[in-house]
Homo-oligomer: A and B are copies of this chain.
Amino acid sequence: MKLYAVKLLTVTCEILAQKDVIEILKKHGITGYTTYEVDGNGARGIRGQGFKNEKNVKIEIIMREDKLQDVVEEISRTLFADFATVLYVSDVSVVRAEKF
């Protein structure tokens, strides 16, 4: 079974910024992603106590390398200043490269 190299982009951000991230993905023609709520600690303090809106969410997107740069650039530009956000990129292999 041949595996194909693609990129996995992971964005950890405030739950209220999730919509913005997905909007950006959509703008770049990406509709596949996985999300889940997480707690966390970082420069903006502990998150995940108290109201649900103060939790974080992780958004994971498997994508081809060619879209990565633009997406990362737009998320950094529009969200880093105002929202608690961390993103990282890793290398993964998939079976059906055409799916992404």
- Contacting residues, chain B, for A10 (C-beta < 8 A): 92
Main SS class of interface, A: strand
- Contacting residues, chain B, for A90 (C-beta < 8 A): 8, 90-93
So how many copies of this chain end up in the complex? 3
A-B contact pairs, 30 of them (CB 8 A): A1-B69, A1-B73, A3-B72, A6-B88, A8-B88, A8-B90, A31-B41, A31-B42, A32-B43, A32-B86, A33-B40, A33-B41, A33-B42, A34-B38, A34-B39, A34-B58, A35-B40, A36-B36, A36-B37, A36-B38, A36-B58, A76-B95, A80-B96, A87-B94, A88-B93, A89-B92, A89-B93, A90-B90, A90-B91, A90-B92
